[in-house]
Amino acid sequence: MLRRTLVVGAVFALTALPGFSQKDIDLPALGSPADLTLSPAEETKLGAQVVAEMYRYDYIVDDPEVTEYLSNIGWKLAAADPTTPNPPPFNFYLIADNRINAFALPGGYIGFNAGTIVAASNESELAGVLAHEESHVTQRHIARAAGDTQVADIATWLGVLAAIIAGSANPNVVLGALSIGQGINYQRQVTYTRANEMEADRFGIRKLAAAGYDPMGMATFFGKLAQQTRLYGSRLPEILMTHPADTTRIAEATERAAQYGPRMVKDSIEFSLMRARTRVLETDSPNEAMGYFAGEINAGRNTPENQYGYAMSLANLEQNQQALSALQPLVDAYPKQPNVNLLQARILGQAGKTQESLDLYARLVAANPRYAPGILKYAEALINAGRPDQARQTLLSYGQALGNRIDTYRLLSEAARATGNTAEAQYEIANYLFQRGDMRGALEQLNVGLRVASISNDDRARLLARRKQLLDTIPKEELRQLQRG
């Protein structure tokens, strides 16, 4: 099971079902009023601090395939947004929680619960969740809320974001965090958050339609959220009780979506495969996942989703021959599909067919040179096969496609360590920790590298330069606290 207990922020959670009724909302003033409270740079810093905490508590799932899939949909929506020609630098994360939820942090950091992917009946519903959360970011609801409550201190808002994401299936968790200890009027904040939710609905539906999805997907997913809310019943304490199922919000979303006319949108094969992959990730054990997918297939639902999930579950149990057999119908039907190829290559490697596995990875990367998960998994397979130099060269050759994905630095560090290059290994693992927001850990790794007796002058200079770069990014007061720690 992916669910974690974590004290970090859940702001403007998707699963809010407020009863605010307003047919239309004027475009907000997005200029200086929000900047007076939280500038875009401060919003980015605030969101990054919360993401660092999520990494610290293993609340982010490091699965490059699902994360890439979410990112592709997210950026497709962002590029189609008619109201934001220059979208912010979004970052998307798969969250280790098997309940339905998603949240937007300031600075463009969007968390997406594993349970949300599994609950979505089609790709337009999933895209509707992302469109809603992106709209919270582009409309700068955090900065506007900060201004409305007259709380202008970043440290205070970091405290506000210390609501419990795992409990944010109800908006009152967030509202409680906004009010407890902050002297913020509760009812005023309820009304403001309801307005934010309605605004995000309106902008999100417009974005859905522009990106080619069915804008009705948001309304149908709201129905699932209403049902989930009813299932909690009276078991929750009062602060966690939501409003009754909000027919007004669902009706308004349906009405807005209907303005675009009926749309028949075919789901991509990636939706089915990543839905199955996420279900395997969120299930308590490989045996349980295997039992679920075997039951689906035995019941006559021999779909690509169930075939992929069954094969992946068998692979997790290292029943490799059975896994290859289970995957074969997908290989035949989709011989060049990257996710199918990656699972097949992984199983071949586990089965001891190393060269066959590496050849498949190489063909995949050659055919999809911008598909980051393929590059990363090929490099990892090369390291495991005792070819770290080739792995390093692969990662560096495809650096533009990989961007700043944090697994790149981890694998570069592993490759360097496997070749005995300790200084480079420390340099890259420091970069990995820095990308996760662990400044202390990054500096410690650089210091370890500097203490290596056999370090060359060039490597020492490189480590010192990187150490200075990191130190220069830390405000003086924070640096003093870090040094005291």
Q: What is the mean pLDDT of residues 115-125?
A: 94
The CA distance from 104 to 139, in Å, is 11
Which residue intervals of 161-215 are DSSP H helices?
171-179, 186-210
- Whether 27 maps to a domain, the answer reads no
User: Is residue 75 domain-resident?
Assistant: yes
pLDDT digits (tens, 9 = 90+) for 32-87: 344 545 677 877 888 888 888 889 888 899 999 999 999 999 999 999 988 888 88
Q: Which of 68, 61, 65, 124 is nearest to 94 (CA)?
A: 61
Report whether pLDDT(197) > 70.
Answer: yes
Side-chain half-sphere CA neighbours of 399 within 13 A: 6
Contact 90, 67 (CB under 8 A): no
Q: Which of 16-20, 35-39, 130-134, 338-342 has the least mean pLDDT?
A: 16-20
Query: The domain containing residue 126 runs over which residues?
Result: 32-258
Cα(389)–Cα(21) distance, integer angstroms: 61
Domain membership of residue 383 (yes or no) is: no
Per cent of the chain over pLDDT 90 is 54
Band of residue 100 on the pLDDT scale cut at 50, 70, 90:
confident
Lowest mean pLDDT among 175-184, 289-298, 463-472: 175-184
Copy the structure tokens of residue 27: 């475009």
Confidence band of 11 (pLDDT split at 50, 70, 90): very low
Tell whether the model's pLDDT for residue 177 goes beyond 80.
no
Confidence grade of residue 323 (pLDDT, cut at 50, 70, 90): very high
Q: Roughly how many angstroms between the first and final C-alpha of the chain, as a whole number?
A: 34
State mean pLDDT over 186-199. 56
If one compares 57 and 322, the residue with the highest pLDDT of the two is: 322
- Mean pLDDT, range 364-373, rounded to an integer: 98
Section 437-463 average pLDDT:
94
Using CA of residue 3, residue 5, residue 8, residue 13, what is the dihedral sign? positive
Pairing label, strands 102-105, 109-113: antiparallel
- Cβ atoms of residues 240 and 173 within 8 Å: yes
Domain count, the chain: 1
Domain assignment of residue 283, yes or no = no
pTM: 0.84
Burial label, 76 (beta-carbon count in 10 A; 0-12, 13-18, 19+): middle
- Higher-pLDDT residue of 459 and 87 is 459
SS3 110: strand
pLDDT, residue 311, reads: 98
CA gap 214, 66 in Å, rounded:
21
In a domain, 401, yes or no: no
221 pLDDT band, cuts 50/70/90, is confident
Q: Quick check: is 248 in a domain?
A: yes
